[in-house]
Structure 1
């Protein structure tokens, strides 16, 4: 009888490889810590690029990543997490109107023109949750403040999903609604639930109604995505009017916008695929969530992978699946890896494990920069490093999570799972909720 080939993601040697890559990424980003607080945007060598100023989303993602580093026991992580956290509790915080500025200019002036975005605030929520669970000074206080700001200004309980953007003074909300901010909100809502549940009541008294309320919010937003996936054949609309009617022609003249591109974004289909399974693992078996996760994954792969004859995922497609922006973004591959691992865990189907292995092979060949460090953030259609959308190597968030998610259960979220010691030698040692299989 011919032996069935081993599934690479289940091999201890592969887990050792993931651990080494995780630590390589943490080492690369260590220079992001700024003396006055915050995290720098990094160039291709890991050197801070001051021309970008201090961005809240970069700072928050760095707080999150290096709080995970603390929980992993990686020396030096605490200093980076604390430097980033210092800006979230200090100079990036709007002491007058509440919430967080989008950025500080290179001279330290707050960017008020960009307003207050849900995207930024969702990452502040995630950062605060991870920092609190990692025991970083000020983390629990930041979590309570960020939760209050998010629920006051961004969460629309009637819609079951968030408002996207306010002006700087929280006097007027933009009519635009976006799925990108909703996606990162779901990630953050699950993280807040875990943090609230773990922390002593004295650290987070009644934050946002408790863990179950945060999970319910995440589930409501996730079920909206299930509806979208069904209605649009797995291609998710990203842009909406104030009543959440899709605006399919939005930004038609800016197809390569880094945050709001025209068309369908296969990478977000993959990211949502994994997040739907995270939600399911948190709330209990829900076949609609699981089926939508498969639908989104399959559509993203069919439309996006090698769509123009070369390896790699294209950035965007038109609504019939035709590739539009053919640049390859590193974050898409990172999310594809995480989604494939999650679907293999959830379904046991070998095809997901095979995709997982194939995409790590692609990343090793084309994305992992063994000379300069980290991953190339953008490749051209021929898989040559490019900078048309993403100059430099801004942060390690997506790539770092790709080294961790395959080694952890589908729930709880990353910081709680690491704190609980769930980073086991084989991902089959626990079920999707971190309990013995």
Structure 2
């Protein structure tokens, strides 16, 4: 059991091995222009697929952290991805970033908030890692995001523009806003500009309002006036980015981001010995407590609905509004977030439930999700934990998995992971 127990020497060694495996697995991602190839089952680039901005940004982020961690070759790999973001994937005429380029170098249409949030994350990490051009990338990404995606009046982000930034789609969504919270927290930590942390809190307050009204199952999709669209994609329930119903993995991920934001906003340490940003093992009264309790509600609702919910281990991809599984597939990113959030909630609440959850997730990871032959993690399994490729063929990138080897041992819960690496333990 020690191998799966948080803070055990065996678990630290296990995650260190996974981390090194993941960073080695992704080495072949860069195209000649720097855009990230989609990686296949054994890490071979699938050169016939588009080179997308969101994947390239994720690779810039993870290899920037790899450089700070001393993984050989990571600095050059981060620089290659940054080259792609500043070069072939950047729209020099209209500003911002293309969704991607086809194998024939044709532009994929539209400008997505989701991708631009990841460019902010990439720029933040590259700047902290000292990658040449990282600071400029971050400055450009924040400027474009502030101009086109952030709605200051509402305190939320819009979703999709056309390529020329002249027509805004009517769809509004929380997936992009969730990664915006991640990006804003990273930008605040990297630059010291606290307005981005404040913005993250405004998004979080909206999300918690919707979640409370829906028994802690977060509506994902909205009309242009931010009315929840609970029936969106009912005919395509396993959509890659806009699945129907509740997405337990997002409830789990929101719980971690809310905890990070709350600790950084309300739980600053009083002295250098307070590593996690909480002054004692007793959670303080007031707003901080309210946000941590809300994060626990989101996490526990998602785990109750989706973990081991259908007779086999694993977390179901989606549920209906009654909490019953709809898409039973297990996605690797959902497990990664469960690993992260259980560890983070334990470090803030000291509730052994989260410690036990973490151990269960670790055992499941080792048994079913880690590819012990070809490396990395299987991205999609069916309800019987057999490999499935209908939504996520291959192993596109290493972002979620790599973060799950780092966040559980981030001693500074309120600090974004790249900044925490820079600061050291």
TM-score range, shorter chain: over 0.9
- Give 1:63-102 correspondences, 5 Å limit: 63-102=60-99
* Contact 2:4/2:362, CA 8 A, preserved across alignment: no
The answer on 1:288 being equivalent to 2:290 is yes
Distance (whole Å) between structure 1 residues aligned to residue 102 and residue 373 of structure 2: 31
Select 2:146's aligned residue among 151, 155, 159. 151
TM-fit CA distance, 1:271: 0.4
Q: Which residue of 2 aligns with 1:360?
A: 362
Q: C-alpha root-mean-square deviation of aligned residues, in Å?
A: 1.2
Q: Which residue of 2 aligns with 1:246?
A: 228
* Contact 2:331/2:380, CA 8 A, preserved across alignment: yes
Secondary structure in 1 matching 2:20: helix
Distance (whole Å) between structure 2 residues aligned to residue 396 and residue 330 of structure 1: 10
Distance (whole Å) between structure 2 residues aligned to residue 251 and residue 6 of structure 1: 41
Secondary structure in 2 matching 1:310: coil
Q: Which residue of 2 aligns with 1:278?
A: 260
* Contact 2:23/2:66, CA 8 A, preserved across alignment: yes
* Contact 1:411/1:417, CA 8 A, preserved across alignment: no
The answer on 1:58 being equivalent to 2:40 is no
1:320 and 1:421, CA in 2 relative to 1: closer, same or farther beyond 3 A? Answer: same
Q: Which residue of 2 aligns with 1:421?
A: 424
Q: Which residue of 2 aligns with 1:220?
A: 202
Distance (whole Å) between structure 1 residues aligned to residue 45 and residue 23 of structure 2: 15
Distance (whole Å) between structure 2 residues aligned to residue 228 and residue 337 of structure 1: 25
* Contact 2:328/2:382, CA 8 A, preserved across alignment: yes
Q: Which residue of 1 aligns with 2:280?
A: none
Distance (whole Å) between structure 2 residues aligned to residue 399 and residue 181 of structure 1: 19
Deviates more, 1:319-328 or 1:29-38: 29-38
TM-score, length basis structure 2: 0.93
Secondary structure in 1 matching 2:415: coil
Select 1:347's aligned residue among 349, 374, 392. 349
TM-fit CA distance, 1:76: 0.9
Q: Which residue of 2 aligns with 1:426?
A: none
1:7 and 1:362, CA in 2 relative to 1: closer, same or farther beyond 3 A? Answer: closer
* Contact 1:276/1:290, CA 8 A, preserved across alignment: yes
Deviating beyond 4 angstroms after TM superposition, the runs of 4 or more aligned structure 1 residues are: none
1:110 and 1:6, CA in 2 relative to 1: closer, same or farther beyond 3 A? Answer: closer
Distance (whole Å) between structure 2 residues aligned to residue 373 and residue 410 of structure 1: 29
Secondary structure in 2 matching 1:75: coil
- Give 1:32-47 correspondences, 5 Å limit: 32-47=29-44
- Give 1:8-47 correspondences, 5 Å limit: 8-47=5-44
Distance (whole Å) between structure 2 residues aligned to residue 336 and residue 13 of structure 1: 20
Select 2:137's aligned residue among 142, 155, 163. 142
Q: Which residue of 2 aligns with 1:428?
A: none
* Contact 1:223/1:289, CA 8 A, preserved across alignment: no
- Give 1:35-434 correspondences, 5 Å limit: 35-112=32-109, 115-197=110-192, 211-285=193-267, 286-408=288-410, 409-422=412-425
Distance (whole Å) between structure 1 residues aligned to residue 372 and residue 8 of structure 2: 23
Deviates more, 1:149-158 or 1:284-293: 284-293
Distance (whole Å) between structure 2 residues aligned to residue 361 and residue 218 of structure 1: 33
TM-fit CA distance, 1:16: 2.1
TM-fit CA distance, 1:7: 8.8
TM-fit CA distance, 1:12: 2.8
Secondary structure in 2 matching 1:120: helix
- Structure 2 runs not aligned, ≥5 long: 268-287
Secondary structure in 1 matching 2:48: helix
Deviation track 1:292-342 (CA, whole Å, cap 9, x = no partner) reads: 110011110111111111100110011001111111100000000001001
The count of aligned residue pairs is 403
